[in-house]
Amino acid sequence: MQEQQLVDAIAKLVIEQLKNVDVYNPEDKIPVGISARHVHLCREDLETLFGKGYQLNKKKDLMGGQFAAQECVTLIGTKLRAIENVRVLGPERSKSQVEISRTDAIKLGLTAPVRLSGDLAGSAPIALVGPKGVVYLKEGCIIAKRHIHMSPADAAKFGVEDKQVVKVRFESGRGGILEDVPIRVDDSFTLEMHIDTDEANGLGIGKDMGILIK
């Protein structure tokens, strides 16, 4: 009887462990884009930094109608530490936003929260310096939360939906799994996972593909 109880207990333990094992299809591959620090600007702040009526000059097209501009700014943290040549992305937004890595935040002396783009309430303050002036943001600096961009067709292919949270496995580099990855679905998106430089360096990710785990 005791032996049967022991067998039942072990079987139950094995079943519980199997429930926590990630099941995935190695063919469910996601391209990865490594996002360096960058800045989005509203019209008012753009003119303060670069001059009245200034228009951004496109350097490279990005996803969803965005583009990397030729223009760069300097970031100044609360301890007056600076990071120079930070790329501005266009087009203009309704509110200025700075996206940095955790390593950048430490250098600048900031306590920046991990957020998805646009979620700026209560985020860190930061100053931006351009060739024509200075902008001080009382809030607006975040550490960009990793996420996956998909078109509706991609979402249907992978069997996921907008705002669903998944995991992504990496088998090259140092290897590992990134959890808590929200999916963002829009007609203008192409399939790509966005991570920052800290995450890429930590897992040894270069041009590697991630594998989606639902």
Tokens 């041009």 map to which residue? 207
- The residue out of 111, 144, 177 marking a domain boundary is 144
Domain count, the chain: 2
Q: What is the pTM of this model?
A: 0.84
How would you write the pLDDT of the chain (214 residues) with one tens digit per residue? 566 666 666 666 655 554 555 666 777 899 999 999 999 999 999 999 999 999 999 999 988 889 999 999 999 998 889 999 999 999 999 999 999 999 999 999 999 999 999 999 999 999 999 999 999 999 999 999 999 999 999 999 999 999 999 999 998 778 889 999 999 999 999 999 999 999 999 999 888 899 999 8
Q: Do 208 and 152 fall into the same domain?
A: yes
**What residue numbers bound the domain in which 198 lies?**
23-33+147-213
CB contact set of 135 (below 8 Å; sequence gap of 6+): 45, 48, 49, 96, 127, 128
Same domain for 153 and 60: no
How, if at all, do strands 67-76 and 82-90 pair?
Answer: antiparallel
Is residue 11 a part of any domain in this protein?
no
